[in-house]
């Protein structure tokens, strides 16, 4: 009997490893070809700058520290890696989440259907896209998946506590998720009073984190003005995902039997309500990647309810159709989507090929607010040095100084065509396209 049990464990382990390897292979073209967006470059810049002034930067920004601590350590270990290696951090968290989900799905549904559910995870556009996005979203997705499983299926108190602490210091979304979890536990029939008594120190820590977020907001560190209310801009995958979740919810016959299963169903519904409340009464909040905090519960519920969706006989066929659909809409690597026809990676590659940039040529880099040093990582990657000799905050009164430099790098559109400068200008226009002007002519 023990031999059969060990054989089953080995089999599941091998399958999970094979799924993880396939996920890595599927994402590898994006790591090779895809350039980093401005937000991702900001993360890489934090890692390159190291732990100098880390505490002050944390208090005076909207970014919680845990992901950037890990990213900085990884950067130090590898010694200023390229944009391929640095993105292995978010991909690593996605792989951990995949393994946890695969173990859960195989345990609940058997080998074949468990593998299909894992492929559904791999090809779902939002999760696969954020798996190589150099921001904390992949880490927070992994932590929420672990948090729910340690609370319910695996019932590991210590790891559940650890996941809560890490969530609080990874992203502000972690705090929002914990509020959603609290309400969902109440609705699902859990003993909230008993849990508060048992985890009172986590409640205190959460309240302190709320105070920290309010302080960061008072420092004007939290800026979500870029988030609009254009609901039509949501990706098709969001609509498909929630439709599939709703079908599972209506057709899952045992939804009223167990609190844990009800919890996985309630969290996304409560989460959407919380999103609406925040967006309409607090601040703009609707952006596709914020929904990632609701996906772990959705995936877990689908894993429990998929057998009852139409009937086990037809479920694999339906799953294959959905998987192929997701694979089709998610097949193209993210290379030029984020930054337009010329992204940062392509820009530096062209600059290197032109052989016009060297350590002896003076380059002034103009920046807005917190984006100082944003070009440093790619500069080190392609030239071996920071090509920005001087950093200057964008101010028309200071642009006279720019005449002393051969190149000027503008991170944002600043009416560049009206700048009467003899320097070569690298800039990002109002549509997000990066361009190079040489002697006032587009190169």
Q: By the 8 A CB rule, do 58 and 394 touch?
A: no
pLDDT at 81: 74
127 exposure class (CB count in 10 Å sphere: 0-12, 13-18, 19+):
buried
Question: How far is residue 47's CA from residue 67's CA, in Å, rounded to a whole number?
Answer: 10
Triad 129, 217, 164: Cα angle to 5°: 55
Q: Is 331 helix (H, G, I), strand (E, B) or coil?
A: coil
- List for the chain the helix, strand, coil content (%; round to 5): 65, 5, 30
Question: How far is residue 436's CA from residue 443's CA, in Å, rounded to a whole number?
Answer: 6
Question: How far is residue 139's CA from residue 127's CA, in Å, rounded to a whole number?
Answer: 11
Give me the tens of pLDDT residue by residue for the chain, a chain 443 residues long: 455 566 678 888 899 999 999 999 999 988 988 888 878 988 998 898 888 777 777 766 667 899 999 999 999 998 877 899 999 999 999 999 999 999 999 998 889 889 988 998 998 888 888 999 999 999 999 999 999 999 999 999 999 999 999 999 999 999 999 999 999 999 988 999 999 999 999 999 999 988 888 777 666 555 555 454 544 445 445 555 555 655 655 555 555 556 777 888 889 889 988 988 887 887 777 677 888 999 999 899 888 877 666 555 666 666 666 666 666 655 454 443 344 445 778 778 877 877 767 777 767 776 766 677 788 888 888 888 888 777 776 655 555 555 555 555 654 444 444 455 555 556 554 444 445 555 444 33
Q: Looking up tokens 């031999």, which residue turns up?
A: 3
pLDDT at 168: 95
| Alpha carbons within 13 A on the beta-carbon side of 246 | 8
Buried b (16+ CB within 10 A) or exposed e, 307-318: bbbeeeeebeeb
pLDDT at 257: 56
Q: By the 8 A CB rule, do 411 and 428 touch?
A: yes
| Alpha carbons within 13 A on the beta-carbon side of 325 | 10
Structure tokens at 405: 């430099």
pLDDT at 376: 86
Question: How far is residue 156's CA from residue 100's CA, in Å, rounded to a whole number?
Answer: 14
Q: Is 231 helix (H, G, I), strand (E, B) or coil?
A: helix
From residue 31, alpha-carbon distances to 84, 277, 337 in Å are 5, 36, 14
For helices 295-305 and 137-151, the axis angle rounded to 10 degrees is 50
- SS3 of 80-125: CCCHHHHCHHHHHHHHHHHHHHHHHHHHHHCHHHHHHHHHHHHHCH
Q: Is 189 helix (H, G, I), strand (E, B) or coil?
A: coil
pLDDT at 349: 80
Q: Looking up tokens 């996985």, which residue turns up?
A: 264
């Amino acid at each position: 009997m023990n031999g059969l049990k060990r054989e089953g464990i080995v089999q599941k382990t091998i399958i999970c490893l094979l799924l993880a390897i396939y996920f890595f292979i599927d994402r590898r073209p994006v790591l090779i070809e895809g350039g980093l967006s401005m937000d991702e470059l900001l993360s890489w810049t934090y890692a390159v700058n190291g732990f100098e002034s880390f505490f002050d930067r944390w208090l005076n920004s909207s970014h919680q520290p845990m992901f950037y601590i890990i990213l900085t350590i990884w950067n130090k270990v590898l010694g200023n890696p390229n944009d391929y290696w640095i993105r292995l951090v978010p991909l690593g968290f996605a792989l951990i989440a995949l393994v946890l989900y695969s173990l859960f799905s195989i345990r609940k549904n058997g080998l074949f259907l468990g593998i299909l559910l894992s492929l559904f995870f791999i090809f779902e556009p939002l999760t696969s896209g954020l798996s190589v996005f150099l921001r904390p979203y992949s880490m927070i997705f992994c932590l929420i998946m672990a948090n729910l499983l340690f609370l319910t299926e695996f019932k590991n108190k210590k790891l559940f506590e650890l996941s809560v602490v890490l969530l609080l210091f990874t992203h502000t979304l972690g705090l929002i998720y914990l509020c959603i979890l609290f309400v969902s536990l109440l609705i699902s029939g859990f003993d909230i009073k008993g849990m508060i008594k048992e985890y009172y120190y986590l409640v205190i820590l959460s309240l302190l984190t709320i105070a920290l977020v309010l302080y960061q907001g008072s420092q004007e560190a939290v800026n979500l003005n870029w988030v609009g209310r254009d609901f039509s801009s949501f990706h098709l995958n969001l609509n498909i995902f929630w439709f599939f979740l709703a079908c599972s919810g209506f057709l899952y016959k045992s939804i009223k039997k167990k609190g844990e299963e009800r919890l996985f169903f309630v969290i996304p519904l409560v989460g959407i309500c919380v999103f609406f409340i925040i967006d309409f009464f607090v601040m703009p909040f609707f952006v596709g990647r914020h929904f990632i905090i609701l996906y772990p519960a959705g995936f877990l519920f689908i894993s429990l309810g998929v057998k009852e969706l139409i009937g086990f006989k037809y479920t694999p066929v339906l799953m294959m159709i959905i998987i192929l659909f997701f694979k089709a809409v998610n097949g193209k690597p993210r290379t030029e989507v984020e930054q337009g026809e010329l992204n940062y990676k392509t820009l530096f590659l062209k600059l290197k090929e032109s052989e016009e940039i060297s350590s002896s040529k003076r380059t002034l880099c103009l920046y807005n607010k917190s984006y100082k040093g944003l070009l440093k990582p790619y500069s080190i990657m392609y030239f071996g040095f920071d090509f920005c000799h001087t950093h200057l905050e964008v101010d028309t009164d200071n642009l006279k100084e720019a005449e002393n430099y051969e190149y000027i790098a503008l991170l944002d559109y600043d009416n560049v065509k009206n700048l009467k400068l003899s320097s070569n200008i690298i800039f990002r226009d109002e549509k997000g396209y990066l361009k190079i002007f040489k002697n006032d002519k587009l190169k």
